[in-house]
Structure 1
Amino acid sequence: MNNTSGVAPSMDPAVVATLREELHTVGEQVVAVVIAEVPAYRDAFLGPMGQNIEQAVRLALDGFLKLASRGADAVTDAGTPLEPVVEGAYQLGRGEARSGRTMEALLAAYRVGARVAWRSLAERAVTAGMGGEQVASFAELVFAYIDELSAASVAGHSDEAETSGRVRQRLLERLVRQVVTEGPRASVEATARRAEWALPSTVTVVLLGQGQVRSALSALGPRAIAAEEDLPGLERDDVSVLLVPDARRTSLLHALQGRSAVVGPTVEWARAAASYRRAVRTRALAPRRGVVDTDAHLVRLVLGADEEALRDLRARVLAPLDDLREASREKLVETLRAWLLCRGRRDEVAALLHVHPQTVRYRVGQLRELFGETLDDPEEVLALVVALG
């Protein structure tokens, strides 16, 4: 308690004895006023914890009187009676952090308690014969003592919040990995409970550069969570995985604008692994700049599902062109693809290829000679569409 320098070294033992007799009454007064003036603690004081809190108030007051009787320098002595009180204040701050409350209410309670305790104790001290100069020193000691307890509680709150934050962050990262790798449902649910993250109805997996995670999480809201390491299929890449719960897809895509992201399909949380796999596959196929919506690449994903099968299919259906020169073959393949996509409408094919309609007519004639009745067989046409897709 560094700010106690200059305070009278000790209080008259007789005065201290008189004040100690009043601790129970003063404690009750402090509790009553805190209940009235700090609404955040009203339920806590009136509930089962009320007696424990009142006892803690009296212990704090008793610690103060022990300090006053020994002199302000006693706070620096090893084993001083003040140590348990300061430790109690520290643990109180930690408890506030665990309860999810800020320090605002507790510091308000300290201020109210100091005012009430000072008024009551000062009245009794004067009645017991304390002089004016000593009263002034007594006031300094009261408020310095409260500052010490407040500082200890703030430290406890900060330490607990920091520790809890790190622990929760690790749990959330573990949860992301479990969800996208199809971890056992019971394990996922247990991790979610420990991380205090309610499992949503749906999730959307987003792949994002690690340098963009912080701003993305800010834009997506407090329920979005991320993991950055040990992710299958991304081990060598500087990529993070985000889980966005219960998102409206249009809003999600808009929120990610200006970033390089791949947005997987929106699925039930238990199927998040499917969203993750699709996002990873789309990332390998699509450009890596801007926001890539996997829903816009379904055809490419289907066609690329089995690359060897696709190569074999192309080789089989385009076999009639094998004997042509490479340049001629490329032109006819290009024309055949456009003809299939435009469903044989010559003018549209010409516009797509930027050639004259007569050129299209000539090339289609060549194709019919080479493929024969194949171009009129629905199954073979389907095979050509897939192969040339």
Structure 2
Amino acid sequence: MAKDTASATALGAADLQLDDAVLRALRERLPAIATTTVAAVVDEVPDYRGALGGTAGATIQRAVQMAIAGFLKLAGGGRDVDPSTPLGPTREGAYALGRGEARGGRSMDSLLAAYRVGARVSWRQLALAAADAGLPATTMAKFAELLFAYIDELSAASVAGHTDELTTSGRVRDRYRERLGQHLLAGAGTDVLTAAAARAEWSPPASLTAVLLPAAEARRALASLGADTLQVGEDLEGIADADPDHPLTLLLVPDADGPGRVHLLRVLTGRHAVVGPARPWALARSSYDRAARTATLARPPRSGAAVDTERHLADLVLTADPEALADLRDRVLAPLADLPPATQDRLAETLLSWLLHQGRRDAVAAELHVHAQTVRYRMGQVRELYGDRLTDPAVVRELVIALSGPSGASSRG
């Protein structure tokens, strides 16, 4: 950590003179003062209660003894103290204490509360010892000012350590979580995934749902999702026609099935997102694959709602093997092949509507915005071309599949 060039305690110590008898008396009382101070912190600060017998108690004991010893050394320096000299090991110890308390899960509020209690109790004990040793009242005021300035600087060092530890551990955890996401996309085995999750301090959920969305929208979306949502970098495979100027990022959202999916779709409204299916967490790759394929097929609704892959299952099935679909179209639409292209399109459109509406002429006419007699005339042409095949369930199924595919399905390559 950075060192100050002129601390308030060093400046104060230069104006304070404690004779050897007072310093000797204070140093003799140091262990008892430290014990009393630690007991008060453990008793009054909730996060430290019950810590006396454990590692935390020993840490606090060492920190308090070091702090008081450092203070007495500083107070005894008198006019020999250089104002430009930093607090040295004591300041570094306070900084290390802050980092250790962050690693131990204690909040900054608890750390500052411990400093407040420690300052109050140690001052009371030091003042009693100094008074017993004959410290004049005029010097006692400077002694108090020096002590509280010293505690302020140590607490600031501990706060800096606490903040730095959280920042550093957060970055490390984020890197481990991104690596976990990469393992999930790679389809790694359960042992690898479980170990990666443990390193990332991430508890595996029952399921993960893949969400593809523009990288620029990811931060705002994450603010509305759970803290355990994983984010994978922008270099994603399997997305055709990706725009390099507007890269996509991937979020893996825990337990977003059932009511959770409704919430997820609501959160993603207006964010140009594609939402895959919920899958067991170790199989998240399949959710990503579904979302990636849908991203190449479906455009976001005009309403701004997220693209829900569950609403595009038929399209995904139809486009799973484009060449097979093209071959099917060529075969089942062969009776129309000799007609002019415009006539082929009209009859194919009418045939599909007629099959889906189960021959209800008025419904077909309403859908196609034509007269019912026009539907009758067109279907008469179709029957001449297909004959009895229109009564064969297998042929009907193939016609519906072929005619429901994308308009460009017959084009190869």
| Band of TM-score, shorter chain | over 0.9
Q: Secondary structure of the equivalent of 1:241?
A: strand
Q: Say if 2:115 is the partner of 1:110.
A: yes
Could you list the per-position Cα deviations for residues 55-101 of structure 1 after superposition, in whole angstroms to 9, with x for gaps in the alignment? 331222111111111148457437xxx42221111111111211222
Say if 2:289 is the partner of 1:277.
yes
Determine if contact 1:339/1:346 at 8 Å carries over to the other structure. yes
1:310-338 per-residue CA deviation (whole Å, 9 max, x = no partner) reads 11111111111111112211111111111
What residue number does 1:377 align with? 392
Could you list the per-position Cα deviations for residues 39-58 of structure 1 after superposition, in whole angstroms to 9, with x for gaps in the alignment?
A: 21112224354244323312
Q: Which amino acid aligns with 1:299?
A: A
SS in 2 for 1:204: strand
AA paired with 1:181?
A
Q: Please report how far the alpha carbon of residue 226 of structure 1 lies from its aligned counterpart in structure 2 after TM superposition.
A: 1.2
2: CA distance between counterparts of 1:205 and 1:272? Answer: 7
Greater shift in the superposed pair: 66-75 or 156-165? 66-75
**Residue 171 of structure 1 contacts residue 195 of structure 1 at CA under 8 Å; is this kept in 2?**
yes
Match status 1:265 vs 2:274? no
User: What residue is the counterpart of 1:241 in the other structure?
Assistant: 250
- Equivalence for 1:360: 375
Letter in 1 for 2:7: N
- Equivalent residue, structure 2, for 1:292: 307
* Matched letter for residue 320 of structure 1: P
| Structure 2 gaps, min length 5 | 1-5, 405-413
**Does 1:135 pair with 2:144?**
no
The residue aligned with 2:98 is 93
Residue 23 of structure 1 corresponds to 30
The answer to whether the 8 A contact 2:350-2:364 is kept is: yes
Alignment: residue pair count: 386
CA-to-aligned-CA distance 1:236-268 (integer Å, 9 cap, x gap): 451111111112211211222222110100111
Residue in structure 1 matching 2:206, options 201, 205, 208: 201
Could you tell me which residue of structure 1 aligns to residue 162 of structure 2? 157
CA contact (8 A) 2:96 2:161 kept: yes
Closer, same or farther: CA 309–71 of 1 in aligned 2, 3 Å? farther
* Residue identity matched to 2:148: F
Match of 2:235 in 1: 230
TM-superposed CA distance for 1:19, in Å, is 0.4
Cα gap change, 1:42 to 1:147, in 2 (>3 Å): same
Structure with greater helix percent: 1
Query: Percent of aligned positions with the same letter in both sequences?
Result: 54
Q: In the TM superposition, what whole-angstrom CA distance separates every residue of 1:140-162 from its partner, at most 9, and x where no partner exists?
A: 11111111110110111111111
Decide which of 164, 177, 182 is 1:177's aligned counterpart.
182
Contact 2:238-2:293 within 8 A present in 1 as well: no
